[in-house]
Amino acid sequence: MEVKIREAEEKDIEDIFSLLKHYALLGVILEREREDIRSNLGTFIVAEISGELKGVATFYDYDGNLKEIRSLAVHNEFRSMGIGGRLLKAIINRIREKSSARIFVLTYRPDFFKHYGFFEVSREEFPEKIWKDCAKCKDRENCSETALVYKD
């Protein structure tokens, strides 16, 4: 099975939306609107198998010195096959091509990210994130996500 990691294209928007919506309904990822995906398409990468989208990842640029990896998702039937790790490495490489910014993630799966060079830090280190997304989150008072930073 050949997995192709590539930049997202306009034709991928509906598949990206559907994949992220699935995990948003499970409460493990933030929901993204189609227009949000469209306007940020340049930051998305996808994993494709036999021409079908099976995974996605993106990042958010807070100010040039801080980037958040977000919306990392792989279709259930393709999990534990290394696709998530390949997407993560590809998005880190994409960020590193243009920047030496600090890279972080908030996640319910910290062990996955630790395997790829991330280490735990306090969420309070990212007030930008708290004001952007966390303030609107239904779980903001009882957040169980772990903040991690990438160490090159």
Pair 52, 21: CB distance under 8 Å: no
| Domain 3-150 fold | Aminopeptidase (3.40.630)
pLDDT at position 98, please?
87
Sheet strand arrangement including 66-74: 3-7, 45-49, 52-61, 66-74, 102-107, 146-150, 118-121
Q: Which residues contact 17 (CB under 8 A, 6 or more apart)?
A: 32, 33, 34, 37
pLDDT-above-70 percentage for the chain: 88
pLDDT at position 139, please?
57
pLDDT at position 28, please?
85
pTM higher than the cut 0.75: yes
Pair 147, 125: CB distance under 8 Å: yes
pLDDT at position 108, please?
86
The arithmetic mean of pLDDT across residues 97-126, rounded, is 90
Chain centroid offset of residue 27 CA: 15
Pair 104, 68: CB distance under 8 Å: yes
List the structure tokens of 108: 């319910």
pLDDT digit string (tens) for 75-100?
988 888 899 999 999 999 999 998 88
